Amino acid sequence: MQRLLVILSLACLTSCKTIMINAMLKDPQVETTSTIKEFQLVNKYSTENSLIIKADTSNAVEKLFLGMTVGYYIFDKEGNQVCYNGSVTCHGSQFKELLNGNIDSFKSCEDKNVTLATVLAETYDLDDAPVDKNRFPASDYYVVSYWQKFLGGKKGYEDAVTWMEEEIRNNPSKTRFTFIKINTDLQEKWGFIAGKKAKLDWKRKGDRLTLDITDLPVRK
């Protein structure tokens, strides 16, 4: 059994209302590049700047929950991470402050190990090709969001991806944004059996969520 303890504010990015955990969390299924792309196309989501994270059986659980432990990153034009430095607690409202030009609410992060380059180095695209910063247009900010099919399906995708894409697209300022979405579902490429599912159990106490993953379908 692998256990990951996640501390959450239990607020969704778009509305800051409490997440209905029992409606969002499902047993994770092993995906492929094709099934991730198909999910986006069938639901008429854009596949532009759509990537998949690299992992293997040793760190699969850690990567699987990036959407819950990280959510999203913001990087400046040089690819350095910037962090929120204001008083708003809702992640969605924090992001909107950036879109509205409240640059003073953000500062360079202390963690120099997280850069756009290091994040992209751990991904591949929907053609299974490696990715680096040069493939994206020059921007003032690069926004990276993580998502998973097992966390809410369409609703989870829209909470993690679609609303941010729309906010950036409708942003009237001259600030240039590039939005990148990274899927972290269990992948066949990680050493698992495509189509099979792991077992997910969870317990919630206050804002503390304990997740237990068992029966990972490792390919022999």
Q: Of 8-17, 189-198, 206-215, which gets the smallest average pLDDT?
A: 8-17
DSSP 8-state class, residue 197: B
Alpha carbon 118 to its chain centroid, in Å, reads 15
What's the rounded mean pLDDT across residues 35-59? 96
Asked if residue 50 lies in contact with residue 44, where contact means CB atoms within 8 angstroms, the answer is: no
Q: In what order do the strands lie in the sheet with 177-183?
A: 106-108, 81-84, 72-76, 141-147, 177-183, 50-53, 123-125
* Residue 194 pLDDT level (bands cut at 50, 70, 90): very high
How confident is the model at residue 100, as a pLDDT? 85
What is the pLDDT at residue 22? 54
Q: In the predicted model, is pLDDT for residue 185 greater than 80?
A: yes
pTM of the model: 0.89
Residue 123 pairs with which residues in a beta bridge? 53
